[in-house]
Structure 1
Amino acid sequence: MGLANATIQQRLVPVRLFYDFLMEEGLRESNPVARGRYTPGRRAGASHQRGLLPRLTKLPWIPGEQQWLRILEVARREPVRNRVMLALAYDAALRREELCSLRTDDVDPAHRTLRIRAETTKNRLERVVPYSASTGVLLSGYLAHRATVSRARGSLFLSESRRNHAQPLSLWTWSKVVRRIALTSGVERFSTHTTRHLSLTDLARMGWEVHAIASFAGHRHTDSTLQYIHLSGRDLADKLSRGMEHSHAWRIQALTAASDDAEVSR
């Protein structure tokens, strides 16, 4: 298999910087690893420089219905800590770092919300997100179990291995848990970020506005949110159908009203 487009783009960066250095030292007159440049609104025929490699943007992968059921079947056999982590990752569309960095005082059981601290987020934006009632029941069970591991406040999710007993659960340990679930279920593309993609897509399917989804996800710009939302062709067809039905009904209603007015005028 060849390298992914994003991987090649990353590997080109040090090569490009090396040639930049050679140019600064006067050893070369140009950089063969071109940067793409584009100025919006330029007239036709204006100079335009393409990058050495076109940048491809692919839709994020999310599991289908049967794949998700296989993942859930395996997840049901996991310890309560892992089950509640999966539930929160989906409910609140959490990144891996945000999930593993949760602390006991970030949880508000009375209002069923989580505080995602700015220092744990990708773009340093703090936010408060809700979680469902069913996840709340699972979380309550985990908190009772956590008290048997450690009663100290601090990291919400703790390691229960003999080597790191009662220590904060690491990112790598959580990645291993998710990888094990992926392999056992036969859905090998399932990763720690899949639940976030799936959650945001489901919100879009439920009709949430993109700005509300962006706020929920902790994105500064809706452009980032749109990359996460993966509506299938069937979803888009359903939206188009509903939109057309609404437009059709409105036009027919307007046409009928116009006919009634014409009858009255006679």
Structure 2
Amino acid sequence: MTPIEKWPVFRRHDQAAACLQIWSDLGRAPRTIEAYARGLGEYLLLCERSGVDPVTANRADVAVYVRELTSRPHHRGANVISMDSGVGLANATIQQRLVPVRLFYDHLIEEGLRSSNPVGRGRYTPGRRRGGQAKGLVPRLTKLPWIPDEDQWLRILHVAQSEPVRNRLMLALAYDAALRREELCLLRTDDVDPSRRTLRIRAETTKTRLERVVPYSATAGVLLSQYLRHRATLTRSRGLLFLSESRRNYAEPLTLWTWSKVVRRIALEADVERFSTHTTRHLCLTDLARMGWELHEIATFAGHRQTDSTLQYIHLSGRELADKLRGGMEHIHAWRVQTLAGETAQLNSEVAR
């Protein structure tokens, strides 16, 4: 189903449909197009309910959309894993919804249909106070990724031990190589090099469109050998590595949603509800930071185009703060000892007199 078919509202708004087509023609990832269509489609529907022409809407009209995002009940209801207020979408999701709306108005400005964009963006503006930083429409909250503690991770591993070899291999590779869900599920048989124990992560499967080669452990290599023998009983054809074994989709490529359901089931059984398909990536990159990897090395391993995302894992590991604290405490400790030694010498001198 195309985004236009999923969101018929675009058929009633030519400029929005043209904007969506431009994004698609520019080669944006299919999942990005889906996210853009959802954010802009929801905004167009709200404008229709409010009797507002989206082409001429102002900042107050966009603010109504923001209010709706922050107050709507979540469609997943009781399945919501973490929500600060229990109502509305998370801050990161709201930011995501606003991106296509902002890009839509950028498009209208380029077409000469507007002179300004009602969706503000945080950007550096010379001459402004507080470092010249202009605030966006919605304050951006930056939170560190969640990772399980040792007890929670052991519970996940204990449950995973009884899983089929395919699921155990997928968890192992997801952690070893810090793979995103799409990167893992879209691995092909020819992306694996068992002789060097490496995976080729193709550019078209990544979020940043950066191809990379990453290693995996010897333990994952053993699981891979077992799975390849099992996979040969399903099909002899090459192609996507991980296959479904359900009766409905037997020997068909495993979907992203099926893998999410597998991980969700493991998380619930292990009583670690916050564990998700992305948690293994967070845990791996944090462990690399804890081991002393440099920032650029972690960024290359993770496939980050900018190091801003990588810095989250450095901060989460506490490595830099620990190093600074250790160095500072050594200096303070030396100063205290020297001070005590000086006071003791002075006291001995007074007693001798």
TM range (shorter): 0.7 to 0.9
* Aligned equivalent of 2:147, options 36, 58, 62: 62
Q: Which amino acid aligns with 1:143?
A: L
Aligned-partner SS, 2:124: coil
Tell me how far 1:7 sits from its aligned partner.
2.5
* Aligned equivalent of 2:201, options 98, 113, 116: 116
* Aligned equivalent of 1:97, options 160, 165, 182: 182
Q: Which amino acid aligns with 2:309?
A: S
Tell me how far 1:249 sits from its aligned partner.
11
Q: Which amino acid aligns with 1:177?
A: V
* Aligned equivalent of 1:239, options 304, 323, 328: 323
Higher relative contact order (CA 8 A, sep 6+): 1
CA gap 1:181/1:48 in 2 versus in 1, 3 angstroms: closer
Q: What corresponds to 1:87 in structure 2?
A: 172
CA deviations 1:127-151 (Å, max 9, x no partner) are 1110111111111111111111112
Q: What corresponds to 1:189 in structure 2?
A: 274
CA contact (8 A) 1:205 1:231 kept: no
Q: Which amino acid aligns with 1:4?
A: A
CA deviations 1:151-201 (Å, max 9, x no partner) are 211111111111111111111111111111111111111111100010000
Decide which moves more: 65-74 or 219-228.
219-228
Aligned-partner SS, 2:200: strand
In structure 1, stretches of 5+ residues that fail to align are 252-266
Q: What corresponds to 1:38 in structure 2?
A: 124
Distance 2:133 2:215 in 1: 47
Distance 1:96 1:200 in 2: 15
CA gap 1:52/1:104 in 2 versus in 1, 3 angstroms: closer
- The aligned length equals 247
CA contact (8 A) 2:212 2:303 kept: yes
| 1:101-180 equivalence runs, <5 A | 101-180=186-265
Tell me how far 1:225 sits from its aligned partner.
1.2
More helix by share: 2
The root-mean-square deviation of aligned C-alpha atoms, in Å, is 3.1
Q: TM-score, normalised by structure 2?
A: 0.62
Q: Alignment identity in percent? A: 75
Distance 1:107 1:78 in 2: 22
CA gap 1:48/1:229 in 2 versus in 1, 3 angstroms: closer
CA contact (8 A) 1:201 1:228 kept: yes
CA gap 1:248/1:190 in 2 versus in 1, 3 angstroms: same
CA gap 1:113/1:243 in 2 versus in 1, 3 angstroms: farther
